[in-house]
Amino acid sequence: MANRIRTTQQLLAAFPHVAGGADLTSVMAKYPMAITPYYASLIRRADSSDPIFQMCVPRSQELSDPPFLMPDPLEECHDMPVPGMVHRYPDRALVIATTMCSTYCRHCTRKRIAGTRETNITKRRLEQIAAYLTEHPQISDVIVSGGDPLTMSTEHLEMVLSRLRQVPSVQIIRIGTRVPVVLPMRITDELCAMLRKYHPIWINTHFNHPQELTPESIAACNRLSDAGVPLGNQSVLLRGVNDRPQIIEQLCRALVRNRVRPYYLYQCDLVRGVEHFRTPVSRGMEIMEYLRGRLSGLAIPMFVVDAPHGGGKIPVLPNYVVSQSPTHTVLRNYEGMLIAYPEPQDRCEGHSAMPQEECSPGVWELAAGAYSRIQPEKTVRHTRRRTCCPSNETAREY
Ligand code: SF4
């Protein structure tokens, strides 16, 4: 932390070919820069073709502010019954425990606060939050976020966790942190021993690119898992960084291999200063279409748009329900195979749409129950089935 790259001079000393100048100074005056030496060491090319470089080095595009971008698009400030605590969903609350991060991500959704002042939650504020949680026992799940809570000293973080644990209705504590990615040496045995005292503790971390999965970051994740902390990962879809299906596939495979469950893939929020990172929503859907069938469900994150105006996370999926009748739902799988799923018999009474005449298979015939599936000819799986077991073919399946 003490050796973070924080100034233009330090940045240029580390990467002499970076264009300095007035733009960089203006960006950094608005959105602070900090890069841990470790994270800087992951940069392979000091230009915008490098994903790590893009995520941590300020660029002039951050000053572009189309009118639909907002400082707080999720309207967290409107859902703060106590300053520093967001209460949006009935059973969950989010505590902003610090405004400090070890590395300031250029795509951060809380650019309005991250790094503007580096402060940690006070005891007085923590008491106000604990009082609110006690008065609202429906809140059973508290997310400790920031900034990055794992930049706090172990003692300060313990003060937060132990106070939250004293609220009887708080069942689960989650910590949102990018420290395993940008400062993995912070995950010490001492920190893990402290976390163990406050289980169930869950951690969601924030890997965006396979290049971030290094021996050091994997070891940090292993230390947390070995301390009994289930790990999830929240990635953000970022233009030019990870917006190709193969990159997300590689990332998800590597995460699962290292006991980190891919949890969310976020559409970039409508935050000021991140327009150059935004991808169309259709790119996320393309990626989800690509992952399904290639990866196990365990390795597939949920693609969500965290809706503006505090609308919350909305899952966005390719459409797998093709049609419905009272007797059948017609579904499609990742190969394009159409399958008629029959509804329970007692729900179908009085509904008989079966065609009376000879017909050729189409979606209506599947919904009517005349056929059970329409099978694309040349999929690998279908070819294998036909080779292994020709009797799989039946007269009413196409
Ligand atoms: S670590 Fe999280 S809060 Fe901090 S800058 Fe990155 S995304 Fe924002």
Give the residue with greater pLDDT, 395 vs 55: 55
| Predicted local distance difference test score (pLDDT) of residue 390 | 67
**For residues 85 and 390, what is the distance between their CA atoms, to the nearest angstrom?**
62
Q: Catalytic residue at 148?
A: no
Q: Catalytic residue at 381?
A: no
Expressed in angstroms and rounded, the spacing between residue 390 Cα and the centre of ligand 1 is 55
| Predicted local distance difference test score (pLDDT) of residue 396 | 45
Q: Is the CB of 180 under 6 A from ligand 1?
A: no
Does the pLDDT value for residue 359 go beyond 80?
A: no
| Predicted local distance difference test score (pLDDT) of residue 126 | 98
Q: Catalytic residue at 306?
A: yes
The active-site residue out of 110, 174, 178, 278 is 110
Residue 129, judged by CB atoms within 10 A of its CB (0-12, 13-18, 19+), counts as buried
Contact 316, 305 (CB under 8 A): yes
Give the residue with greater pLDDT, 27 vs 22: 27
The radius of gyration of the chain from alpha carbons, rounded to an integer in Å, stands at 25
Does the pLDDT value for residue 398 go beyond 60?
A: no
Instruction: Summarize the confidence of residues 15-43 as an average pLDDT.
Output: 92
Q: Is the CB of 192 under 6 A from ligand 1?
A: no
Q: Catalytic residue at 178?
A: no
Coil, strand, or helix at residue 307?
A: strand
Ramachandran class of 336: left when φ > 0, alpha when ψ lies in -120 to 50, beta otherwise: left
Instruction: Summarize the confidence of residues 206-231 as an average pLDDT.
Output: 98
Expressed in angstroms and rounded, the spacing between residue 159 Cα and the centre of ligand 1 is 22
Q: Which atom of ligand 1 lies at the shortest distance from residue 179's CA?
A: 1
**For residues 203 and 224, what is the distance between their CA atoms, to the nearest angstrom?**
9
**For residues 266 and 262, what is the distance between their CA atoms, to the nearest angstrom?**
11
Expressed in angstroms and rounded, the spacing between residue 259 Cα and the centre of ligand 1 is 22
Expressed in angstroms and rounded, the spacing between residue 273 Cα and the centre of ligand 1 is 14
| Predicted local distance difference test score (pLDDT) of residue 345 | 83
Coil, strand, or helix at residue 373?
A: strand
Does the pLDDT value for residue 394 go beyond 90?
A: no
| Predicted local distance difference test score (pLDDT) of residue 17 | 87
Q: Which tokens is 250 given?
A: 């590689």
**For residues 221 and 1, what is the distance between their CA atoms, to the nearest angstrom?**
19
Contact 294, 249 (CB under 8 A): yes
Does the pLDDT value for residue 391 go beyond 80?
A: no
Delimit the CATH 3.20.20.70 region(s) of the chain.
Answer: 76-315
Instruction: Summarize the confidence of residues 175-192 as an average pLDDT.
Output: 98
Instruction: Summarize the confidence of residues 287-304 as an average pLDDT.
Output: 97
| Predicted local distance difference test score (pLDDT) of residue 355 | 66
Give the residue with greater pLDDT, 116 vs 199: 199
Contact 182, 39 (CB under 8 A): yes
Instruction: Summarize the confidence of residues 103-110 as an average pLDDT.
Output: 96
Q: Catalytic residue at 268?
A: no
**For residues 184 and 179, what is the distance between their CA atoms, to the nearest angstrom?**
6
pTM of the predicted model as reported, rounded to 2 decimal places: 0.93
* Pocket probe mutation, ligand 1, options 105, 112, 143, max atoms within 8 Å of Cβ: 105
Per-residue model confidence as pLDDT tens digits over 241-259: 999 999 999 999 999 999 9
Q: Where are the beta strands (DSSP E) in 178-230?
A: 201-205
Closest CA to ligand 1's atom 7: 108
Q: Which atom of ligand 1 lies at the shortest distance from residue 107's CA?
A: 7
Q: What is the DSSP letter of 228?
A: T
Q: Catalytic residue at 105?
A: yes
Coil, strand, or helix at residue 386?
A: helix
Q: Which fold has domain 76-315?
A: TIM Barrel (3.20.20)
Q: What is the full DSSP assignment across 24-78?
A: HHHHHHHS---B-HHHHTT-SSSSTTSHHHHHHS--GGGG---TT-BSSTT-GGG
Does the pLDDT value for residue 204 go beyond 70?
A: yes
Instruction: Summarize the confidence of residues 312-320 as an average pLDDT.
Output: 95
| Predicted local distance difference test score (pLDDT) of residue 395 | 40
Q: Is the CB of 147 under 6 A from ligand 1?
A: yes
User: In whole numbers, what is the pLDDT of the chain averaged over residues?
Assistant: 93
Give the residue with greater pLDDT, 333 vs 382: 333
| Predicted local distance difference test score (pLDDT) of residue 331 | 98
Collect all residues with Cβ–Cβ distance below 8 Å to 234 and sequence separation of at least 6. Answer: 176, 204, 205, 206, 263, 264, 266, 301
Question: Lowest mean pLDDT: which of 46-60, 211-225, 340-354?
Answer: 340-354
| Predicted local distance difference test score (pLDDT) of residue 18 | 87
Q: What does the angle CA 219 – CA 223 – CA 226 come to, to the nearest 5 degrees?
A: 130
A 10 A CB-CB count for 393 gives: 12
Q: Catalytic residue at 110?
A: yes
The active-site residue out of 4, 38, 56, 101 is 101
Q: Is the CB of 110 under 6 A from ligand 1?
A: yes
Residue 88, judged by CB atoms within 10 A of its CB (0-12, 13-18, 19+), counts as middle
Expressed in angstroms and rounded, the spacing between residue 184 Cα and the centre of ligand 1 is 15
The active-site residue out of 6, 30, 92, 294 is 92
Collect all residues with Cβ–Cβ distance below 8 Å to 42 and sequence separation of at least 6. Answer: 52, 211, 212, 214
Expressed in angstroms and rounded, the spacing between residue 336 Cα and the centre of ligand 1 is 39
| Predicted local distance difference test score (pLDDT) of residue 305 | 97
